[in-house]
Structure 1
Amino acid sequence: MNEIIWPQGYLPGFTENFVSNEIIVAGLAAADIWPLLSHASQWPSYYANSANVRLHDGPGPELQDGMRFYFETFGFPVEAQCTEFVPPADGQPARIAWHGWAGEGDTRLDVHHAWLIEDLSQGRVRILTQETQKGKPAVELALARPNPMINGHQDWLDGLVRATREASN
């Protein structure tokens, strides 16, 4: 299976926090998932932990490589820039990633959040989302139990699959 491409400084194991969530489901394809994930303004419709999405530049509504945007999640006002944007294609997984940041000084949080969506055999799709985090808030999130990042990202995956199935019917 394919894996996330990590930028320098964000390789899991060398940051203060890392979370990984994955789901494999039958009856959907990467092309079905892509529109709901690549249109950031759609996130709040299926993921309650995202709000107030705004695109800073570019025509939208779809994210694009290099596009700056803003959203709120886990209590953080996040400025972000899309760093990877590869729509699904035959034999090639879809990829989308962004660098996000919030706060200053001791409250500064930097993250790399990446998604990989790939078609598998027998009509299945794999959706993998992973995030590395740097900064004091990342240390606190890593120590929190239950883990808010693991649980939150699982909610995102579950909501994405549910919304995709509803849109397909």
Structure 2
Amino acid sequence: MKWPAGFEPDNSSVYARNEIAIAAPPERVWRWLIRAAKWPQWYSNSANVNFIRGNPPELAPDTEFRWKTFGATVASRVIVFEPPHELGWDAHGVLSAYHG
């Protein structure tokens, strides 16, 4: 995983890792992950996904979007986009974070 400067696990005050196995090829999973506008259909901790810069409903490099997660509104920008293996965005709101 490519961590942006300052967000490496050793430099973060909070670090969490979640992992699941999905019985599908990476290309199929990727198509669901990049459809940010549809996250609320399958991820209950997301809501109100609005694109600021980019072409909804799919994420792409440098896409900027605002959304709600765990009750907090955050602004995010896609900073890692390597289909179908790695996707990552920052999040700024109550705190700053990286999700990859």
TM-score by length of 1: 0.57
Q: Deviations over 1:29-65 (max 9, x none)?
A: 0011111110101110001110000011122221111
Change over 3 Å in CA distance of 1:42–1:12 after alignment to 2: same
Distance 1:85 1:36 in 2: 14
C-alpha separation in 2, matches of 1:13 and 1:55:
31
Is 1:62 paired with 2:58? yes
Tell me how large the CA RMSD over aligned residues is: 1.1
Identify the match of residue 20 of structure 1 among 17, 35, 40: 17
Q: What CA distance in whole angstroms lies between the structure 2 residues aligned with 1:68 and 1:62?
A: 11
| Alignment of structure 1 residues 136-155 onto 2, 5 Å | none
List structure 1 segments (4+ residues) > 4 angstroms apart after TM superposition: none
TM (norm. structure 2) is: 0.93
Q: Does the 8 Å CA contact 2:91/2:97 hold for their aligned counterparts?
A: yes
Q: Distance in 1 between matches of 2:98 and 2:50?
A: 19
Partner amino acid, structure 1, of 2:20: I
1:143 aligned residue: none
Higher RCO structure, 1 or 2 (CA under 8 Å, sep 6+)? 1
Identity, % of aligned positions:
34
Higher Cα radius of gyration = 1
Letter in 2 for 1:100: A
Shift of 1:9: 0.6
Matched pairs, number? 100
Q: Which runs of 5+ in 2 are unaligned?
A: none
Question: Which stretches in structure 1 are left out of the alignment for 5+ residues?
Answer: 89-93, 104-108, 115-169
Where does residue 98 of structure 2 map in the other structure? Answer: 112
Q: Residue 101 of structure 1 aligns with which residue?
A: 92
Q: Distance in 2 between matches of 1:25 and 1:67?
A: 26
Partner of 1:39: 35
Q: Distance in 2 between matches of 1:25 and 1:13?
A: 28
d(CA) in 1 for partners of 2:22, 2:30: 15
Q: Could you tell me which amino acid in structure 1 is paired with residue 87 of structure 2?
A: I
